[in-house]
Amino acid sequence: MVFSSITFLFYFLPIFFGIYYFTSYKNLTLLLGSIVFYAWGEPRFVPLLLASATLNYVFGALVFRAAGRMKWWLLVAGVASNLLVLIYFKYTGFLLSAFNDLIGPHRSPLPVPEILLPLGISFWTFQGISYLIDVYRGVIPAQSSFVNFAMYKAMFPQLIAGPIVRYQQVAREISSRHIGNADVMSGLAQFLVGLAQKVLISNTVAISADRIFGLASAGLSPGLAWWGIVAYSIQIFYDFAGYSNMAIGLGRMLGFQYPINFAQPYSSLSITEFWRRWHISLSSWFRDYLYIPLGGSRVGPWRIYFNLSLVFLLCGLWHGAAWTFVVWGAWHGLLLVIERAGGSTLLARLPNVICRAYTLLAVMLGWVFFRADTVPHAVSYLAVMFGASSGTAAPWQMYVPHTAVVAIVIGAGLALFRRDQWPSAIQQRMLDARWLKTLAVPTLALLFMVSVASLAAGTYNPFIYFRF
């Protein structure tokens, strides 16, 4: 079940909240509702989700009570258990295929099993690891109630695609939370904005992106290839940012304050800034649980470069078990190393418009590898983008209809707009403008009705991050 579906909007959501708001057993209700939500799409993996909750609950209690070296070894065992589950389901096929390629065709290859990937396993595995490490560090005590902990692990707003909510961020709300009218209305508004971003922008451009990337290089022209990557850049941003806004809004309606996950990343002036604004819960997770323990920025320059490269290689692998994701992670790691080695000093001297253009171009080039099916596919696509067209392509209008052009223009405008760079007097005037507040409710209502009409019409409704 996805948030942007008729089933969720008109069946699950009203029934669940109708029970949730009037019961005294909110944590149990949320746990059971989350299990129903997950079972709707992946019933076979509900036991795995509950087993993961049990594993982390038990190891958290053991780590919390232990001392000395035993505390350390229990942490290692808990983290390793989480990683082994993730590796089995997500990387077994990739690792065996890589091994078969390494030994060559003259030796008997190992059989590569087809293992279904449980929805959201990358997110709730990292969630469990952060819990164990924070308990080990003494940042939080272990949760004594299994129901409360299982509810934290399975909360449906962030279960499938994040944000990666750390236990310490919601520990107080798990024990006691007040849900006021302002929380409900604010959360509902953010949910409706996210729904419109997903349905009206991301879904609208998704067909164009998929069709163009589905063409062979002989059917591409440079212009059409650029339209494809522009469409995909808009699609992936509003696909994930929209879903994150819906998750954060739902969390607010439940009484939780989830962390922000996107902050105008396409308006960044460098790749370093981009990663402070894109998928913030993931980038901060890698920073706090891998980069800093490796030494962070407290070590020598070459060790810093190594740490950055390793972190982003793993970040690429986290997104998917394919060489395209490895290259994507390596690309971002390389750019961050270059900026760390002096590139950021050069960028600081350049006009903002050039810095923005550089960042957008670098991100879009990376998205080619992220979207392509294989590395050769990505390389050939990039070659066409920069003029190496080998065939006669159809006019771009055949693949990018007017609706997609409008969605791209609106999406790009909203993504590049930075209100915090406007003069403070203008910002305050906008906040105080009564006409904007008056228009807010009818605008949200209109966005909801148009979004629902689009979903009811059976329009294309993919979700990129379900793969991760």
Task: Report how far Cα 240 is from the mean position of its chain's Cα atoms.
Answer: 6
Amino acid residing at 376: P
Instruction: For residue 71, give every residue at least 6 positions away whose Cβ sits within 8 Å of its Cβ, in sequence order, or none.
Output: 63, 136
Task: State the burial class of residue 26 (Cβ atoms within 10 Å of its Cβ: 0-12, 13-18, 19+).
Answer: middle
Amino acid residing at 319: H
Report helix angle 402-416 to 222-254, nearest 10: 60
CA-closest candidate to residue 371, choices 382, 359, 384, 387: 382
Instruction: For residue 468, give every residue at least 6 positions away whose Cβ sits within 8 Å of its Cβ, in sequence order, or none.
Output: 122, 123, 161, 318, 319, 320
d(CA 320, CA 16): 32
Geometric angle at alpha carbon 55, from 54 and 56, rounded to 5°: 95
CA-closest candidate to residue 290, choices 265, 313, 269, 264: 313
Is-contact 406 364, C-beta < 8 A? no
d(CA 218, CA 279): 35
Can 178 be counted among the known catalytic residues?
no
End-to-end Cα, the chain, rounded Å: 16
- Residue 457 main-chain phi, psi, to 5 deg: -80, -5
Catalytic residue among 178, 279, 319, 402: 319
| Secondary structure of residue 100 in the 3-state scheme | helix
Residues annotated as catalytic are 319
